[in-house]
Chain A
Amino acid sequence: MPLSDRELMQRLASGDREALSPLMERHSKRVYRIALSYLRDADDALDAVQDTFVKAFQNAARWDPASEVAPWLMRIAVNHSIDQYRRGKRRGVHHTPLVDGDHDERIAAQEVSPERHAQGRELGEKIARALETLPEGHRAVFVLRHYDGMSLEEISGTLKLSLGTVKSSLHRATHRLRERLAELAP
């Protein structure tokens, strides 16, 4: 019978690195999507996944055994992504926006038509620009709701915010994004 997340975290806290593998199998995709929503670059998001689990290993002893593992991991992922995003922004890093299907090889293999590639690229750029205008707290709430599918209560627990703050952040983020998308419309 596979070990639960809590059991794996306890092993990690005692220095058993092998516990990382099943934890990463279960949670790395979620971490990847959260990181990608901030960093907009597949390689940077992969780096963020690895760094998130390195931090999880290094801080496993601080994890509260009474709390759930996934929200704790997602909190690390959000904080790390925000940190990386700030650094990239300060250094003026500009990434090619994501497109549906993501990679040029797939276009070459005729899996994604050039038209769809161009549309996806434009859409990805537009969404990235719209998301960038959100304050960090609002963006984190929006990403956890719409990219990770967390409930408001889960977001509240993950980001250590009151439920009221989560609701008002989501409300403001949605309105701000609608305005921004309208401004960016061709």
Chain B
Amino acid sequence: MSFEHLRTWRRLSLLASDALDAAEGERALTHVAACSRCAAELQSLRGALAQLLRDPARTAEPQVGVDLLVQRTHARIERASTATAVVSGWRVAWVPVAAAALLALVVRVAGPARSPEAVGTRAGANAADRVAVSDEALRRLERTVEREQAARYLNDAEAVLVTVAAAPHHCDRNHETVDMAEERRRSRELLTRRALLVDIDSEGIRSVRPVLEDVERLLRQVATLDACAKPEELLAIHEELRDRRLLMKIDLMTRELLG
């Protein structure tokens, strides 16, 4: 078997795909003309490609005009930027809360130091009133933010657990392992987010604490799976999801949190 034959043989699929440059293509065709085995292989590859190239998707056109597509795309950009603003708003909501808390602290500490004899005076009473109002507003704001953060966390956790419970995408042809790379990554992200933004012991979210604990335990299990996990490793997660009716509870608790 000559070098030229091997060289051409390896390039037959590219020749069939019209993917060789002119000189390479000519050289390969010269060999094929004198090699019946290569000619048969080339014909077979071209036959298979001809079938594939009849795929309607190759020539399909969008069923809507480009103007409508542009309009819809603009609408999606609007929605995406609004959603980003809301998420950013949640994230930065702690900034005014922290600032208000700091201010309240400063007022409490600095107030008596400036005029200790003023206790009981009208000015002192006004200052005390202002601090009391700020504290109440602060508590309400904190509670609202806590509940929104918890609801959002539960919502995102549900999305991860739904895909874990759904028909799996196998990593290999023999269906011996299941692709869990994305779920694993998202679970880790969520656990970090929970630790940063959702205080499981907080008064404002006490009623959903059992669900938060169940969700956290399952996310930890998903986070420790291999990227290509064995199906039996998922069984325990599936069973727990089903037995505890966790997805349903997440729905209910999310609604409760958002009022």
Contacts and interface: CB of A to CB of B under 8 A. Distances in A.
B14 to A, nearest CB: 6
Given A46-B69, A91-B166, A92-B167, A54 B80 contact: yes
A118 interface: no
Contacts of A37: 55, 57-58
B166 A127 contact: no
Contacts of A130: 52
A145 B56 contact: no
Interface SS, A side: helix
B19 interface: yes
A40 B57 CA distance: 8
B17 A145 contact: yes
Interface string A139-180: 000000111000110000000000000010011001101100
Interface stretch (B41-49, B109-117, B137-145, B189-197): B41-49
B66 to A, nearest CB: 5
Contact of A36 (B10, B54, B57, B166): B57
A102 B56 contact: yes
Contact of B167 (A17, A58, A89, A100): A89
Nearest to A179: B48
A124 interface: yes
Contacts of A181: 48, 51-52
B169 interface: yes
B73 A99 contact: no
Contact of B61 (A32, A50, A98, A170): A32
Contacts of A17: 74, 77
B127 interface: no
Interface residues of B, number: 42
Contacts of B56: 98-102, 120, 123-124
B48 A146 contact: no
Nearest to A85: B169
A36 B19 CA distance: 23
B126 interface: no
Nearest to B60: A36
Given A24-B70, A87-B163, A89-B169, A33 B57 contact: yes
B244 interface: no
B17 A102 contact: no
B13 interface: yes
A49 interface: yes
The residue among B14, B19, B168 with the most chain A CB atoms within 10 A of its own CB is B19
Interface string B221-234: 00000000000000
A89 B182 CA distance: 13
A86 B63 contact: no
A25 interface: yes
A161 B45 CA distance: 24
Interface in A67-104: 86-87, 89-92, 98-103
Contacts of B54: 123, 127
Nearest to A150: B19
Nearest to A124: B56
A24 B73 contact: yes
Given A29-B62, A33-B58, A91-B162, 6 more contacts: A28-B62, A33-B57, A91-B163, A123-B55, A123-B56, A174-B48
27 contacts: A20-B70, A20-B74, A21-B66, A24-B70, A32-B62, A33-B59, A33-B60, A36-B57, A36-B60, A37-B55, A50-B69, A54-B73, A54-B76, A86-B169, A90-B166, A90-B168, A91-B167, A98-B57, A101-B56, A124-B57, A170-B13, A170-B14, A170-B19, A171-B10, A174-B45, A177-B48, A182-B48
In the A-B complex, the 6 residue pairs with the smallest Cβ-Cβ separation, listed nearest first, are A92-B167, A178-B48, A174-B13, A36-B57, A171-B13, A127-B55
